[in-house]
Chain A
Amino acid sequence: MKKDILIYFNLITSLKTVEEVNELSSELDSLTSSLFKSEKMNLEEALSSIRENSAKAIMEIFLKNKLDLADKEVIQDFLKTLKNLMQKFKVIKLVLAFEPTHQTIDKIHNYIFENIGIGYILDIEVDETILGGSVVIFNGKYKDFTLRKILDDTFKEKREQILA
């Protein structure tokens, strides 16, 4: 299985946010438990217990790479490797002033993918008090690029000029 690590590429790069990763992770858990509930249960049947999109993506990997849908050892190995890969994601936390649409999240994630690489997901928090811009938190570093901070600094620096 190790040699085929690239088979996960499409699935991994399709995950963009912490919520998506958490959802897929719990789906993998339920998939594992339903698979081993009975001897006769195969992957196709078990996939019906999770979201259609996720089921489709997993099925695609199995078919494309000609993996045995009935071999439970192969399936278990697949699920385990996928979970391990998902735990290695690094989280970039963004504080935004608005609730981002899917397109916005895609755009941000694509930017990260192109400029930093694979293995990064977004944790988005909405805080309207920042007015605009964003706070970026990554690896314990905190960078405030918000409109609120710019205004605060301006008021601090040019208080007398503004009040005059």
Chain B
Amino acid sequence: MKDFKFYLDLVSEIGFVDKAGSAIMHVNGLPNVKPDEIVIFETGEIGMVLSFDPNIVEVLVFSKNPIAHGTKAVRTNEFLKVPVGLELVGKIIDPLGNPLTAMDSYKKPSSSRSINNPAAGILSRKTITKQLETGVPIVDLVMPLGIGQRELIIGDRKTGKTNFLMQAILAQTKQKHMCIYAAIGKKRLDIKEAEDFFKKNNISDKIIFVASGFDDPIGLTYLVPFAAMTIGEYFRDQGYDVLLALDDLTTHAKFYREISLLAKRFPGRNSYPGDIFYTHAKLLERAGNFVIEKGEKAITCLPVVETTQGDLSGYIQTNIMSMTDGHLYFDSDLFAKGRRPAINPFLSVTRVGRQTQSTLKRDINREILSFLTISEKMQNFTHFGAELTESTKVTLAVADKVVKFLDQAPAATTMPINLSLLLFSMLWDNILQNKNIQPIGPDIDKIIEVYNSKPQVSKEIDQTIENTQSFNDFLKTMREKGEKLLESLKI
């Protein structure tokens, strides 16, 4: 972007700051200004036109520096663009492409894309057919997600939502997908923690981290998800499958509410502006599974929304639920009970994930879900203090094992789907056969490591799963060579 003088000579229109607020400047002049046009102030600050009438232009400023009354402003005939390119990979940037941390090697990409691209039409979209591997067994087996799905991550604060995103990103970088993490109005400490997680797991050079802090200008924070989506679209068009995590949209809505109230727009429900639904819908509609020149490529979007005391019926919460293809509910009660991740499978929904599953996976999915439903009912029954029958005790003991299997410490472990299938089937078979071999416990990290590092072992497992048609067949196979496979995974 050129400087103030350049645009003044080019456009020959000028305005003067008439009223200065913390984020919104009222500028008079600029007779031919357009909505969303970029405005540059003589002091170097950049802003975007929010709205205007014949006398006054409202400009949302992307800077914290105060702008004095009477400061000159010029319109640019340009719309907000985000620098895009491979240079962004491995970098932490703000939505305008400026580095957030000291990065010697960073050079802003020369090409850029408009931040407000309209969502692609129905003709360029395709049914979701491939499963997205998150590395989290309860999601991959019970609540499967598809590549190109928009799945809402919802729950109270501190219930492990960000940890889940981190694990999903970790699993996806292993699949060579392009991962973008958008931290919206986060605390500096949280941004640092996410950065440390990526560094610790050696994926910091493989992901793009778009962030704005809680104390950054509200205009900048408002742009974060749009900038991240624009970067995602660029990489999709370059032939990558993209995973985009938006952490979180409740904060985004709050910042947008602040902007709207400062701009004196009429407040609606909970003081949010009337176009909050439109704002989020036009963002999330840009994700999906697309057919482009380079084939079928997808932007999988995982927006996060925070609830208060488990209330799923809030305004922003229900809005975003209606825009997404399901939601994973992180239950604070389950979190308090020590379940990790604290996903409540009964209150979670995946609308397109199951269509991506093979028959075997679907069988296992049904088996787990129906068993968990039964055990949950029995668990509730025990609260009455009634004496339990032997069969109930057995069911509860099995439920304990299944839950333990689905539990996963929020450490940097991601379990490949095929390994989850194998271990679960083994566990299930052992339970049926009343054996005492349990593919769970402290050895799990080692098992995953062996699976990832020994191609001959993983190949054999993958082949076995590929050749199996149903869960019953798979259980038979496990009975025959399950122990041998488990041994090979423990070496």
Contact = CB atoms under 8 A, between A and B. Distances in A.
Interface of A: 137, 139-144, 149
A154 to B, nearest CB: 14
B55 to A, nearest CB: 10
Contacts of B28: 140
Interface string B17-30: 00000000000111
26 contacts: A137-B14, A137-B29, A139-B29, A139-B31, A140-B13, A140-B14, A140-B15, A140-B28, A140-B29, A140-B30, A140-B31, A141-B12, A141-B13, A141-B14, A141-B31, A142-B8, A142-B11, A142-B12, A142-B13, A142-B14, A142-B74, A143-B12, A144-B8, A144-B9, A144-B12, A149-B9
A142 B32 CA distance: 12
Nearest to A137: B14
Given A137-B29, A141-B14, A144-B12, 20 more contacts: A137-B14, A139-B29, A139-B31, A140-B13, A140-B14, A140-B15, A140-B28, A140-B30, A140-B31, A141-B12, A141-B13, A141-B31, A142-B8, A142-B11, A142-B12, A142-B13, A142-B14, A143-B12, A144-B9, A149-B9
Which of A140, A141, A142 is the most central at the interface, judged by chain B CB atoms within 10 Å of its CB?
A: A140
A142 B73 CA distance: 11
A61 B345 CA distance: 86
B29 to A, nearest CB: 3
Contacts of A141: 12-14, 31
A144 B74 CA distance: 14
Interface of B: 8-9, 11-15, 28-31, 74
A149 B8 CA distance: 12
Contacts of B8: 142, 144
Nearest to B31: A140
Contacts of B31: 139-141
Contacts of B11: 142
A8 to B, nearest CB: 24
Nearest to A144: B9
A142 B5 CA distance: 11
Closest 4 CB pairs of A and B: A140-B29, A142-B14, A140-B31, A142-B12
A20 B13 CA distance: 26
Contacts, number: 26
Which of B12, B28, B74 is the most central at the interface, judged by chain A CB atoms within 10 Å of its CB?
A: B12
A142 B10 CA distance: 10
A137 to B, nearest CB: 6
Nearest to A153: B9
Contacts of B12: 141-144
Contacts of B30: 140
Which of A141, A142, A143, A144 is the most central at the interface, judged by chain B CB atoms within 10 Å of its CB?
A: A142
B48 to A, nearest CB: 18
Contacts of B13: 140-142
B34 to A, nearest CB: 14
A149 B14 CA distance: 17
Nearest to B8: A142
A149 B10 CA distance: 13
Contacts of A144: 8-9, 12
B12 to A, nearest CB: 5
Nearest to A143: B12
A140 B15 CA distance: 6
Nearest to B9: A144
Contacts of A149: 9
Contacts of B15: 140
B272 to A, nearest CB: 33
B65 to A, nearest CB: 23
Nearest to B12: A142
Nearest to B29: A140
A143 to B, nearest CB: 6
A25 B13 CA distance: 29
A140 B8 CA distance: 11
A157 to B, nearest CB: 14
Contacts of B74: 142
Nearest to B75: A140
A139 B28 CA distance: 9
A134 to B, nearest CB: 14
A141 B13 CA distance: 4
Contacts of A140: 13-15, 28-31
Contacts of B29: 137, 139-140
A133 to B, nearest CB: 14
A142 B9 CA distance: 8
A140 B54 CA distance: 11
Contacts of A142: 8, 11-14, 74
A147 B43 CA distance: 24
B462 to A, nearest CB: 65
A140 B11 CA distance: 11
A156 B31 CA distance: 29
Contacts of B9: 144, 149
Contacts of A139: 29, 31
A143 B13 CA distance: 8
B59 to A, nearest CB: 14
B482 to A, nearest CB: 78
Contacts of A137: 14, 29
B484 to A, nearest CB: 79
A28 to B, nearest CB: 23
A143 B11 CA distance: 10
B269 to A, nearest CB: 37
Nearest to B13: A140
Nearest to B74: A142
A142 B8 CA distance: 8
A144 B11 CA distance: 11
